[in-house]
């Protein structure tokens, strides 16, 4: 009985303390959940930035992205947090590395300085939408041509051609989209 309780306590400790701590330390993008802990003030709604002077610009980009995704694909169920890094130091704190942006589950997106452009914001918001509609774990297991091809295609990314392998993923997604009825989008996607 005592051993069982000890085991449960250990398990609880692992799940409630060690795992979140490890995620915090190892998977830096997860810091989007509590940007204040890395020195960002996030007291003005879902949009945060390390440069308060550029908060309005960030907020406008976010609003454009949310409206675009809602009008052209489907509305997001909840508004994710968006961290707009104005400096590379901020992007480094979120572990972006060479990436322009990253999506964390359905909770938030983090953008490096070069990602302050409409198609980058839309791209990440599309990943959030995929997580909301198809499930976060399911999204991770889906074919890359769908997950990334959809984000590059439907964000209207102006780059053409995209670097390999993204151009091929975009082309494959477009071909898939052309072959399905629009109202069956999520049903068909769920079967991939
Ligand atoms: Zn992507």
User: pLDDT for 116-161, tens place per residue?
Assistant: 999 999 999 999 999 999 999 999 999 999 999 999 999 999 999 9
Which residues make Cβ contacts (< 8 Å) with residue 45, sequence separation at least 6?
Answer: 59
Rounded CA gap, 173 and 80, in Å? Answer: 25
Going along 41-172, which residue ranges are E strands? 47-49, 81-84, 101-104, 108-111
Q: How far is the CA of 39 from the centre of ligand 1 (A)?
A: 26
pLDDT of the residue at 24 = 60
Mean of pLDDT values over 72-80: 96
Q: How far is the CA of 151 from the centre of ligand 1 (A)?
A: 6
- What letter would DSSP give residue 39? T
Mean of pLDDT values over 94-99: 90
Mean of pLDDT values over 154-171: 97
The pLDDT tens digits of the residues spanning 2-55 come to: 677 878 887 777 777 767 666 666 667 777 777 776 778 788 889 999 999 999
Q: How far is the CA of 65 from the centre of ligand 1 (A)?
A: 15
Q: How far is the CA of 77 from the centre of ligand 1 (A)?
A: 19
Q: How far is the CA of 55 from the centre of ligand 1 (A)?
A: 24
Q: How far is the CA of 148 from the centre of ligand 1 (A)?
A: 5
Residues with CB under 5 Å of ion ligand 1 are: 148, 151
pLDDT of the residue at 13 = 74
């Amino acid at each position: 009985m005592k051993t069982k309780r000890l085991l449960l306590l250990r398990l609880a400790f692992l799940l409630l303390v060690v795992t979140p701590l490890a995620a915090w330390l190892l998977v830096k993008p997860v810091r989007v959940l509590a940007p204040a802990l890395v020195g960002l003030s996030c007291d003005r709604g879902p949009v945060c930035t390390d440069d308060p002077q550029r908060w309005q610009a960030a907020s406008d980009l976010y609003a454009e992205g949310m409206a675009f995704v809602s009008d052209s694909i489907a509305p997001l169920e909840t508004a994710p947090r968006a961290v707009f890094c104005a400096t590379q130091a901020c992007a480094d704190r979120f572990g972006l590395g060479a990436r322009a942006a990253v999506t964390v589950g359905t909770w938030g997106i983090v953008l490096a300085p070069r990602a302050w452009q409409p198609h980058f914001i839309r791209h990440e918001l599309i990943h959030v939408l995929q997580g909301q509609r198809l499930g976060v774990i399911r999204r991770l297991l889906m074919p890359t041509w769908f997950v990334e091809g959809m984000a590059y295609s439907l964000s209207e990314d102006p780059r053409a051609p995209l670097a390999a392998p993204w151009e091929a993923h975009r082309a494959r997604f477009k071909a898939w989209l052309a072959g399905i009825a629009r109202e069956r989008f999520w049903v068909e996607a769920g079967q991939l």
